[in-house]
Amino acid sequence: MSIFWFLIIFVVPVMLFICSKKRGKELLQLSQNGKKTTATVSDRQRIFSSSPGGTTKYRMSYVFKTESGEAISHTVYVSYDLYQETPVGSEVDIVYLANDPKISALGYMVELVRSAMKN
C-alpha cells in the first residue's frame, strides 16, 4: 500500500474524528458555562469545490468583545440560509467561554446542544 492510500484510508478519518470530538467538547462547555453576547459579522466567504459534483461551503467571520474589552475574531462554517441572512456588518448572537474566549460559537448552535441535553 502506498503512503498516499495509507493517509487517505487511515490517517485522514482519525484526524476528522479527533477534530469533531474536540468541537463537540467545546460546544458542551459553551452550553454549560458560556457567556452570551452579540458579535458583528466581519467577513463572509463562499468556497467553491473544484471537484466535479463538489459542494459549495459558506464561511463567516465575526468579531466580539469580551467583558474585559478584548476583541476576539472567530470563523465558522454556516448554512447557505444563514450566509444569505447575515451580510457583513450585521449582528449575530454568540456564546463564548470567559476563561478562554477564543472558544465561541453561534448562539443557535449552543441552543441546539442545550436542547439535546434536555432530551
What's residue 1's pLDDT?
A: 55
Position 15 pLDDT exceeds 60? no
Position 49 pLDDT exceeds 90? no
Question: In this structure, which topology does domain 3-118 adopt according to CATH?
Answer: OB fold (Dihydrolipoamide Acetyltransferase, E2P) (2.40.50)
C-alpha cell at 15: 484526524
* Residues 32-44: tens digit of each pLDDT: 899 999 999 999 9
What's residue 19's pLDDT?
A: 44
Task: State how far the alpha carbon of 19 is from the alpha carbons of 36, 87, 90, 93, in Å.
Answer: 24, 28, 29, 24
Half-sphere exposure (Cβ direction) of 117: Cα atoms closer than 13 Å:
14
Better pLDDT: 49 or 61:
61
Position 17 pLDDT exceeds 50? no
